[in-house]
């Protein structure tokens, strides 16, 4: 599977393959946030992180089609955070909208840690795996 991101004037764009497994979905999602982290650390301003169009989990679990119905099947939704509500992603979005770059950087690190905890917990107990 080819994973490919690029930046277009502050907007993250995904132009790789769609994930065909939960593992691939996680890999795309983690790479997304690592790219955002690296972009911010290079002193660049994120205008748009791409939302569901750059999230492997959204791609795999169908949230790009109808997040109200399908987001609950995503491991993030299953952890009680439907539509990523209450996650560091929301804090990150408020920070970039308000041009609070330090808060955006901190939120990216918290989001990566949050995702790692969910991913690692799902690997141990099998939750969030679409059959």
Mean pLDDT of the chain: 88
pTM of the predicted model as reported, rounded to 2 decimal places = 0.88
Question: Phi then psi for 12, rounded to 5 degrees?
Answer: -80, 130
Whether the per-residue pLDDT at 67 is higher than 70: the answer is: no
Distance (Å) of CA 76 to CA 9, 43, 72, 89: 29, 29, 8, 11
Structural domain contains residue 44 = yes
Q: Domain containing 98: what range?
A: 5-125
Structural domain contains residue 32 = yes
Structural domain contains residue 33 = yes
Domain count within the chain:
1
Stretch 46-63: mean pLDDT = 90
Average the pLDDT over each of 19-23, 59-63, 117-121 and give the range with the smallest value.
59-63
Indicate the DSSP class of residue 19. P
Structural domain contains residue 131 = no
- pLDDT score, position 99: 94
pLDDT in tens, 93-102: 999 999 999 9
Using CA atoms, how far apart are residues 131 and 113, in angstroms rounded to an integer? 26
Structural domain contains residue 80 = yes
Q: pLDDT band for position 24 (50/70/90)?
A: very high
Contacts of 59-65 with CB under 8 Å at 24 or more apart are: 59/18, 59/19, 59/25, 59/28, 60/18, 60/19, 60/21, 60/22, 60/24, 60/25, 60/130, 61/25, 61/130
- pLDDT score, position 56: 95
Whether the per-residue pLDDT at 64 is higher than 90: the answer is: no
């Amino acid at each position: 599977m080819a994973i490919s991101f690029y930046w277009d004037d502050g907007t993250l764009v995904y132009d790789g393959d769609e994930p065909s497994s939960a593992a691939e979905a996680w890999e795309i999602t983690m790479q997304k946030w690592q790219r955002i982290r690296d972009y911010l650390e290079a002193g660049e301003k994120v205008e748009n992180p791409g939302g569901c169009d750059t999230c492997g989990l959204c791609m795999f679990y169908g949230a790009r089609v109808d997040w109200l119905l399908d987001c609950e099947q995503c491991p993030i939704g299953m952890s009680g955070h439907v539509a990523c509500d209450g996650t560091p992603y929301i804090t990150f979005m408020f920070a970039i909208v308000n041009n609070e770059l330090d808060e955006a950087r901190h939120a990216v690190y918290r989001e990566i840690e949050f995702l790692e905890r969910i991913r690692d917990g799902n690997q141990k107990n099998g939750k969030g795996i679409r059959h």
